Copies of this chain bind each other. A is one copy, B any other.
Amino acid sequence: MKITALKLHPVAIADPPLRSSYGLHAHYAIRTIVEIETDEGIKGCSETYGGDGPMGLLKEAEQRLIGMDVFQLTRLHMDFEARAAAEASGDRSQTWHVPGENPMDRHTRTFAAIEIACLDAIGKALDKPACDLLGGRARDAVPFSAYLFYKHAGGGGLGDDERDDEYGEGLTPEAMVRQAKQMIAKYGFKEIKLKGGVLDPEVEIETIRALRREFGPNVPLRIDPNCAWSVDTSVMVGESLVEELSRGGYLEDPCASIEGMGEVRKRLLAKGIDTPQASNVAVTAFKHIPEAWKHDAVQIVLSDPHYWGGLKAQQHLDHFCRVFGMGLSMHSNNHLGVSMMAMTHAAACCPYIEFACDTHYPWQTEQDEVVAGGRIPFHQGSVVIPDKPGLGVELDYDQLARLKERYEKLPYRKRDDEAEMRKRVDPNWKRVLPRW
C-alpha cells in the first residue's frame, strides 16, 4: 500500500486564556491535521503541532513519502535520524521552547506525524485498531487526568468565533477547586494535574492543599510549574506538599535541568521526602534518560507520541522506563480528537503507564472538532479504544475547511505565549527562570 498524496490541513482552534510559566495561551491554538492517501484508496490521518515550522518540515518530506509503502517505516525513521544526527546541536530540553517549537526534535516530530498517519491507514486496510498493530493493547480504556490551569476570564476565540467562558476566571485556590469540580463532573477524571509556575508559590501550594481537602487522599495530585522555581523554592514546595503529592502524585519539572532536579531530589530525600519528580522539560529524548537516572533526577518520564517519535517510540520509551525502574505518564498540548485518539492508542499499548495521562482536550470545544461525528467521549475519565480500525476516527472536511480559513486569517504562524502575555496582560512581561 503506497502513499500517493500528503495533505496538510492547518487549523486554528479557539483556546481560553490559560497561563503557564511560558506566558499566556493566545485566542487560537494552531495545529496541523496530516492526511495521507494511498494507491488502495485508503486514507490515514494524524495531528501535530501547527504553524510554519511543523508544516514546512512535513512539506519537505513529501517527495520522500510519495510511493512509499506505509509498512516501511523503519527506513523512513533511519532517514530522519540521519538528518537529525547531521544537524544536531544543543541540549534538546524544552526549558526555553514550547513543545512543537523545539528545533532539536523537529525530525522526531515530523516522523511521528507520518508514522501515526501510516498506522491509521494500515489499521483501516487490515480492519484493526492502531494499538493492535503494535503487539496489542495492555488496556481497553486509557485514564486521563483533570488538567487545571490558572486562567483569566474568557473562553477563547475572537469575534464570531468567541466561545463561552465555560470555566470562568481561575486565579485563586477557591476558583481552582471550582474548576476541578466542574471538569470532573463533566468528564469523570480521577486524578488531577495543576499547571503551576504562574502565581506566587504560596498561592499554588494553597491551591494544591485546597484540592486535597476537597477531593481527599484518593485523588492523586500533581503540580507542574514548568521550571519556574529555583532549587530552594522547589525543595520548599516539596516539603510543604509532602502529604498532598503522595499516593500517586508527583512534582513535575519544578526547576530547570537534570542537574537542578537531581539537586532537589537529593535535598528532599535528605529530609526523608520521597515525592517523585516527573519531567517533560528536562527529559525530552531517550538520551536524557540514562543521565536523569544517574543523577536520580527524574522518577517519572512524561511521554508524548508527538515529539518522542510516534507510537512505536512510545513503546520503546515505555520499555525503557521499565528497565530503569522509572514511571511513565503522558504530556499533552492543546489538541483535537485525532491527537486524542493517537494518545489513547499510544497509552493503550504501553503496559507500564501507571498514571492518568495529561490532556488539554477539555479546553477545546465541540464547535472546533475536526473528527466526523464530534468530540471523543470520556467514560469515567477514560477514553475507550473504539471497535474501529486505525485511530478510530474519520475527518470532517467541512470543519477542516472552516478551521483552515480561520487559520489563514491569523496574524501568527507559531505559538508564542510570551508575546501573548505582553499583549494582553503585562507589556513588560518576560519569561524569567527561576521566577521564584
Chain A residues at the B interface, C-beta cutoff of 8 Å: 69, 71-75, 77-78, 126, 128, 132-133, 135-138, 286-287, 289-290, 293-294, 312, 315-316, 319-320, 323-324, 349, 351
Contact = CB atoms under 8 A, between A and B. Distances in A.
A286 B326 CA distance: 14
A323 B293 CA distance: 14
Contacts of A136: 69, 71-75
Given A77-B351, A78-B351, A290-B324, A72 B319 contact: no
A2 to B, nearest CB: 13
A98 to B, nearest CB: 25
Which of A135, A136, A137, A312 gathers most chain B CB within 10 Å? A135
A73 B74 CA distance: 21
Given A73-B135, A74-B138, A78-B351, 16 more contacts: A71-B128, A71-B136, A72-B132, A72-B137, A73-B136, A74-B135, A74-B137, A74-B349, A74-B351, A77-B351, A78-B138, A126-B126, A286-B323, A290-B290, A294-B294, A320-B320
Contacts of A316: 315-316, 319-320
Contacts of A73: 135-136
Closest 7 CB pairs of A and B: A72-B136, A286-B323, A74-B136, A71-B132, A316-B319, A73-B135, A74-B135
A132 B77 CA distance: 14
B138 A75 contact: yes
Contacts of A132: 71-72
A315 B134 CA distance: 12
